[in-house]
Chain A
């Protein structure tokens, strides 16, 4: 009976199936993550300590870029069969007496944010070149004679009654422009806004209290 057992070699586990599993998981995640559609303008939002997230559906967003251009976006609803965007385009077409073809309405239903006067909508939907499309995006007019943003907001709220409103403004836009948008929204009986911000935590505790004045 041997007193000293031969040294036990540690078993080598073959990791190849594990790698296979991980690859499958990774590919699954990559494919199911949907790409965010290209936004109309680059906007750097201001920072805030707020940690609440925006609702991902039933949301209409008003973008305000640094140069004052205003863009608008609305999603198709939590259940995409409600086709809010298509209905909205039809309503706007009726309002402004523009006839949109079924193809144009369908295309609009799949796109995202836009910012152009309504008269340019038909040309924009039919242009194929992205550069041409971007040139047409001059912002939604908000002047008192033809307040198109007001129409978009009003018809969007009538189309999707439960939609919330988000305002994504650039940090350096003039506040008076943002105020104009907020006044417009309040005229449409919207009093609760979600302002899109970047999260930046600030820790303020009782130590930061200034000494009480005697």
Chain B
């Protein structure tokens, strides 16, 4: 607020005094501006580091070892997700073995909250509840653990989980990169313990042809 001290005109009996003007500008808003600018620059240089999503793939096996070393997993625990063009997500539960008909039905869904996330949360209910409760306890302060302990504890819970789904992610030729990123994101959101990206096989390609559009 500029303070201009000025003699009032003509109040002192008509005598004209020389006008005295001393302007003193208050610098406080300028300082506020500078503060804001500096904070802005400090924060934006920190944010310009790109964020990454880390994925670890298993070692590429030779074609001959693949069948021998497959661990036996219960069919009802396997959830196969097939990504196709146009953000379409198909899934089926169990194995698709042409020698043991009937082949499972492909169910069409999408990436919205009510889509594949609902299916994943439903199948992973116990592990998700366990991890959410642990996180909430940490947030509300009932347990005090460091970030690294939190991560290793969650890893341990995922490793010891025996009931969650085993998700096999497959993508057909027309899928886009963002579909894969989205589905791996859903794995992280729903706290899925074990998932793998595998190649689509010919049985599934045929199933896709007959799937609901």
Contacts and interface: CB of A to CB of B under 8 A. Distances in A.
A192 B31 contact: no
Interface string A25-50: 11001100100100000000111111
Interface string A10-23: 00101110110011
Contacts of A52: 51-54
A156 to B, nearest CB: 18
A16 B171 CA distance: 64
A194 B177 contact: no
Interface stretch (B64-72, B100-108, B154-162, B183-191): B183-191
A171 B51 contact: no
A192 B118 contact: no
Interface residues of B, number: 53
B24 interface: yes
B190 A204 contact: yes
Q: Which of B26, B28, B53, B117 has the most A CB atoms < 10 Å from its CB?
A: B53
Contacts of A171: 176-178, 181
Q: Which of B26, B55, B117 has the most A CB atoms < 10 Å from its CB?
A: B55
A195 B55 contact: yes
A209 interface: yes
B74 interface: no
A56 B46 CA distance: 12
B56 A192 contact: yes
B53 to A, nearest CB: 4
Given A172-B178, A204-B117, A208-B113, A22 B31 contact: yes
B140 to A, nearest CB: 13
A130 interface: no
B181 A197 contact: yes
Contacts of B182: 46
Interface in A157-174: 166, 168-174
Interface string A59-100: 000001000000000000000000000000000000000000
Contact of B30 (A19, A49, A205, A209): A19
Contacts of B188: 48-50
Is chain B's binding surface mostly helix, strand, loop or mixed? helix
A46 B181 contact: yes
Interface in B100-158: 113, 117-118, 121-122, 125, 128-129, 132-133
B26 A12 contact: yes
Contacts of B173: 174, 176
Nearest to A197: B53
Nearest to A17: B27
A186 B60 contact: yes
Interface stretch (B10-18, B37-45, B90-98, B202-210): B37-45
A204 B34 CA distance: 39
A177 B45 CA distance: 32
Contact of A194 (B54, B57, B174): B54
A54 interface: yes
Given A50-B188, A196-B50, 10 more contacts: A19-B30, A22-B38, A46-B178, A47-B181, A48-B185, A171-B178, A178-B177, A192-B57, A204-B121, A210-B118
Question: Which 8 pairs across A and B sit closest by C-beta, in order of nearness?
Answer: A15-B27, A22-B34, A171-B178, A194-B52, A46-B178, A50-B53, A46-B181, A175-B175
29 contacts: A15-B26, A18-B27, A19-B34, A26-B34, A33-B41, A45-B50, A46-B182, A48-B53, A49-B188, A50-B188, A52-B54, A54-B52, A166-B52, A174-B177, A175-B83, A175-B177, A175-B180, A176-B175, A182-B57, A191-B58, A192-B56, A193-B57, A194-B52, A196-B52, A198-B51, A208-B113, A208-B117, A209-B122, A209-B128
